[in-house]
Structure 1
Amino acid sequence: METEELTATLREAGLSPYQADAYVALLSLGSASAAELADESGVPRPRIYDVLRDLEAEGYVTTYEQDRLYAQATPPGELDPLRERLSRLESALDEIEARYRTPETRESDVTLVTQFETVFAQARRDVESAERHVQAVLTPEQFEELRETLAAAYDRGVYVQVSLYAPAEEVTLDPDDFVGVCTEVRRRGFVYPFLVITDRVRVSYAPPRHGASEYGVLVDDRWTAYVFHWFFLTSCWEMFETVHADPRDAPPITFVEITACVRYIEERLHEGATVHVTVDGYGVRTGRRRTLSGTVVDVDYLGHDDDSVASLAQLSARATLVVETADGTYTVGGEGAMTEDVSADRIVVERVERD
């Protein structure tokens, strides 16, 4: 590095022009009297004493008296001011890199980002904080990256549904690989966008990574997330093969989709059984969290016919449970319910009593 470049760099590091000139000159001299240093560096003699005092205060030089004032440069290994500044600059660079890769993403309800890594990182954070439900559309590689995070969520009691891209002719899946990680896994044979929905509120979405264009959408809004929820249910879930599902042989049995719950309960009601449930959700009119416990006295859906099995189209249009509790009778719908009393996030069939 040339002398002029070194001097300019020291100025950028916080030294004044006179301080930088004096310090660089002193490095060449080793040690010198104040007068000699003034002559060598071009710093005016009346100013050299103040300059040396300031350099010593900042740790760059050491002064001592003989017949006059002398100065010598501090050994490089002891240049704490520069090292501290360098450390701060390195930390700042690391922070710039982190914020560039993963900017704050919850400043608005919907955020458009330009890198898949940002979408994936937000999805991981959302799964880490999920309380009730995770729906994910993943490739096998993405699943492996999220495996530990999904398993931790499952251990917390979160209902984990994964739609996995695994063409039957190309990939062999072992159901045991998903035990303790997912509640349900289904196999699809088509490439779909990356999608993670948590608690029906937060969404991390990115289209398939083809071509030079790359973007993603992050959502933190229940009604916007509702669109992605139905995309997941109707396009990534219902029609595909089940690879793994936690046993539903006996209660308690948890449902996160009103459609599957209505089908299960309607069959038991036809058998004359009494079905006891706990419903977690929120009041449709108040928006507040709501929990109900009681018995299901009826089900209702579009085109309800006691002699037929409900189709997905019927249940998607409207699916309702009628629950009798100690406080009265309430109607329960699924996500996005508009006319029912309660919109359910989770329904647990606690027990089924048969006469």
Structure 2
Amino acid sequence: MIVSEEFLSKARSAFDLNEYEIKTWTALLSRGKSTAGELAEISTVPRSRVYDILESLTRKGYVLKKNTTPIRYETVTPEDALKSARKNAFANAESKASELEKVKSADAFKELEKFYKQGAEQIKAEVVGLVKGRKNIHAQLRAMISDAKKSITIVTTHQGLQRKAKHLHADLKKAKEKGVSIRIVASVEHASHVPEEIRSIGDLKKAKSAARFVIVDDKSVLFMMDDDKNVHESYDTGVFVNSPFFAKSFEQFASTHCQSMEKL
């Protein structure tokens, strides 16, 4: 019996059979019924393996075992074999799903979760992203302020202070009500230039030079690339860094300089 390798490969995949199983089964299909010895000859499967293979095919529902002398095997119809294959697939899936449920309580799974959390923290700590456009910058700042648990440091320009009073006042107020410490450093000429909405938000200091960045909880920083006097709002670009080491360095730098700054 000559059967193409392509056919055998497709049949193996469809019925979930190994190489010897598909050769034995197709040989039996061509004969209808046969003994193990006869099938070994026409299928080229070693005689020592044929008996085990036929038992496996019988369990899977593709072959019927006849208790005759000698024992003969008979194939079911391809349609019935397909029904058995479908039934086997469902049974295997249920068994696999049951095994996977058991994995949850295994020590190995807990170790995997531990590795994942460590990896996720590492990825999280290295996130760096560009935020382009002032509208998007404000959206990023809102998210950072909303996530704040302990502290917010805002270093901004005169114009930036006006924008934050307009766009971020409500967010900063909520953060303050949660107990978040807020410090604002702005390059303004006089206290009268500070918007009323900002005065009651937090500690206000007068910056000696222009800078634009925000630090939250010593964990994340958003700093702007350009002086806002020299860039159109559509092209204003911020760099977001979620790194405790980087944020803490920025915070220490800001704190050191704030000590000598004039209060507003």
**Which structure exhibits the higher relative contact order, with contacts defined as CA atoms closer than 8 Å and separated by 6 or more residues?**
2
Using the size of structure 1 for normalisation, the TM-score is 0.33
Structure with greater proportional strand content: 1
* Bigger Rg over Cα: 2
